[in-house]
Amino acid sequence: MKTSNLLIATTRETPADAVVISHQLMLRAGLIRSLAGGLYNWLPLGVRVLRKVEQIVREEMNRSGAQEVLMPVVQPLELWQESGRLQDYGPELLRFEDRHQRGFALGPTHEEIITDLVRNEIRSYKQLPINFYQIQTKFRDEIRPRFGVMRSREFIMKDAYSFHLDRDSLQQTYDEMYDAYNRIFSRIGLDFRPVQADTGSIGGDGSHEFHVLADSGEDDIAFSTESDFAANVELAEALAPRGERPAATAELTKVDTPKAFSIEEVSNCLQVKAKTIAKTLLVKGATEDAPIVALVIRGDHTLNEIKAEKLDLVAEPFELASDEEIKATAGCGAGSIGPVGLNIPVIVDRTAANMADFVCGANIEQVHYTGANWDRDAKATLIADIRNVVKGDPSPCGKGKIEIRRGIEVGHIFQLGNKYSKALNANVQNENSRSQVLEMGCYGIGVTRVVAAAIEQNHDDKGIIWPEAIAPFSVCIVPMQMHKSPRVKEAAEALYNELTTAGIEVLFDDRQERPGVMFNDMELMGIPHRIVIGERGLDKGEFEYKHRRDEKPQDIAQEGFIDWLKAKMA
Q: Which residues contact a second copy by CB under 8 A?
A: 5-7, 9, 33, 35-37, 39-44, 46-48, 50-51, 65, 67-76, 91-92, 94, 96-99, 102, 104, 106, 113, 116-117, 120-121, 127, 130, 132, 137, 139, 141, 143, 153-154
Q: How far is the CB of 555 from a second copy (least distance, A)?
A: 33
Q: What is the distance of C-alpha 384 from the center of its chain? A: 28
List all residues 6 or more positions away from 536 whose beta carbon is below 8 Å from its beta carbon: none
Residue closer to a second copy, measured from CB, 9 or 404: 9
> Which residues face 295 on adjacent strands?
281, 347
Q: Which is nearer to a second copy, 136 or 186 (CB)?
A: 136
Whole-number minimum distance, CB 217 to a second copy, in Å? 26
Contact 118, 139 (CB under 8 A): no
Q: Which is nearer to a second copy, 137 or 558 (CB)?
A: 137
507, β-bridge pairs? 476
In 181-308, at which residue ranges do the beta strands (DSSP E only) sit?
A: 192-196, 207-213, 219-224, 230-232, 253-256, 278-284, 292-298
Residue 33 near residue 40 (C-beta atoms within 8 A): yes
> CA–CA separation, 394 vs 232, rounded Å?
15
Considering the complex, state which of residue 67 and residue 481 has its C-beta at the smaller distance from a second copy.
67
Q: How far is the CB of 212 from a second copy (least distance, A)?
A: 22
CB of 201 to a second copy, least distance (A): 19
**Nearest residue (CB) to a second copy, 104 versus 369:** 104
Would you say 100 or 552 has its CB closer to a second copy?
A: 100
- Torsion from C-alpha of 164, 166, 168, 169, nearest 10 degrees: -20
Residue pair 565/558 in contact by the 8 Å Cβ criterion: no
- CB 37, min distance to a second copy, A: 8
Rounded to a whole number of angstroms, the minimum distance from the CB of residue 533 to a second copy is 23
- CA torsion sign for 380, 386, 390, 396 is positive
Residue 98 or 228: which CB sits closer to a second copy?
A: 98
Burial of 279 (0-12, 13-18, 19+ CB in 10 A): buried
Least distance between a second copy and beta carbon 385 (Å): 39
Which run of H or of E encompasses 111?
helix 111-121
Task: Output the smallest distance, CB 88 to a second copy, in A.
Answer: 16
Least CB distance to a second copy at residue 97 (A) = 8
Question: On the CB side of 343, how many CA atoms lie within 13 Å of its CA?
Answer: 5
Q: Which is nearer to a second copy, 7 or 16 (CB)?
A: 7
Q: With CA atoms as reference, report the closest residue to 348 among 265, 260, 238, 266.
A: 238
- Give the CA dihedral 405, 408, 410, 414, nearest 10 degrees: 60
C-beta closer to a second copy: residue 68 or 319: 68
Sequence-distant (6+) residues with CB within 8 A of 254 are: 362, 364, 367, 368, 369
- Smallest distance from a second copy to CB 290, Å: 42
Distance (Å, whole) CA 20 – CA 39: 17
**Residues contacting 379, CB < 8 A, separation 6+:** 339, 346
Closer residue to a second copy in complex, CB, 28/279: 28
State the nearest-atom distance from the C-beta of 518 to a second copy, in Å.
Answer: 16
CA distance readout (Å), 90 to 103, 165, 424, 473: 16, 32, 21, 41
Which of 4/425 has CB closer to a second copy? 4
